[in-house]
Amino acid sequence: MAKYVPRGVIQTPDLVGRAYEMDMQRFGLARQLAEEEAKKQAQAAAMVSKEKKEYIRNPELRRIAQEAWDARTAAGYAYAMNPSPSGLAQYNQANDLYLNSAGKAKALDDVFWNTNRSYEAGKRSDFPYAEGEVPQLAIQWNNQLVGLNPSGFVDTDVKPFILRKTDDVDILTPNAIADKVVRDVEDLFENDPSFRNENGTLNKQKAFSYINQRLGKEVEIAPEQTGVWGALNQKMIPVEDRGRYNTFTEDQQSEFQKSWIDATNSLITPRIAGLMDKEDAKKTGSGWPSLYAGLRGDRRKIGVVGPVEDPIGELFNFSGNIYKLPQQAFIKGDEYTITEFGKNDAGELVVRKQQEKSVPTAFGTSVIEYEDLGWYRANTEDLNLMKNRMKGFYDDYIGSESVSSQQGKEKINW
Domain boundary among 110, 138, 166: 166
What is the pLDDT, as a whole number, of residue 411?
35
Burial of 165 (0-12, 13-18, 19+ CB in 10 A): middle
Residue 155 lies in a domain: yes
What is the pLDDT, as a whole number, of residue 139?
92
Report the chain's mean pLDDT, rounded to a whole number. Answer: 76
Residue 211 lies in a domain: yes
What is the pLDDT, as a whole number, of residue 3?
40
| Alpha helices (H) in 122-173, listed in sequence order | 133-143, 150-155
Same domain, 268 and 379: no
Domain boundary among 283, 312, 334: 283
Same domain, 25 and 107: yes
Give the number of residues written for the chain: 414
Count of C-beta atoms within a 10 Å radius of residue 39 = 10
User: Residue 345: what residue type?
Assistant: D
Greatest Cα pair distance in the chain: 122
Same domain, 125 and 9: yes
Residue 130 lies in a domain: yes
Same domain, 26 and 115: yes
Nearest to 106 by CA among 51, 45, 43, 61: 61
Residue 87 C-alpha from the chain's centroid: 53
What is the pLDDT, as a whole number, of residue 371?
87
What is the pLDDT, as a whole number, of residue 118?
86
Same domain, 209 and 243: yes
Residue 414 lies in a domain: no
* Structural domain boundaries, residue 395: 290-409
Q: What is the mean pLDDT of each run of 10 residues along the chain (414 residues)?
A: 46 51 50 64 50 68 91 84 84 88 89 88 73 87 93 91 70 84 85 72 84 90 87 78 78 92 90 76 48 64 69 80 81 87 87 85 68 89 84 70 44 32
Same domain, 141 and 247: no
Same domain, 276 and 302: no
**Beta bridge partner(s), residue 376:** 351
| Total count of domains within the chain | 3
The angle subtended at Cα 203 by Cα 197 and Cα 208, nearest 5°, is 160
Residue 350 lies in a domain: yes
Same domain, 140 and 219: no
What is the pLDDT, as a whole number, of residue 328?
73
CA-only gyration radius of the chain, Å: 39
Backbone angles phi, psi at 368, to 5 degrees: -100, 130
Residue 87 lies in a domain: yes
Same domain, 364 and 273: no
Residue 343 C-alpha from the chain's centroid: 49
Q: In this predicted model, what pLDDT tens digit does every residue of 32-56 receive, in sequence order?
A: 666 666 666 655 555 444 433 347 8
Same domain, 350 and 403: yes
Same domain, 37 and 140: yes
CA separation for the pair 206, 230 (Å, rounded): 27
Same domain, 8 and 97: yes
DSSP type of residue 283: -
Domain boundary among 135, 166, 197: 166
Nearest to 396 by CA among 404, 387, 405, 388: 387
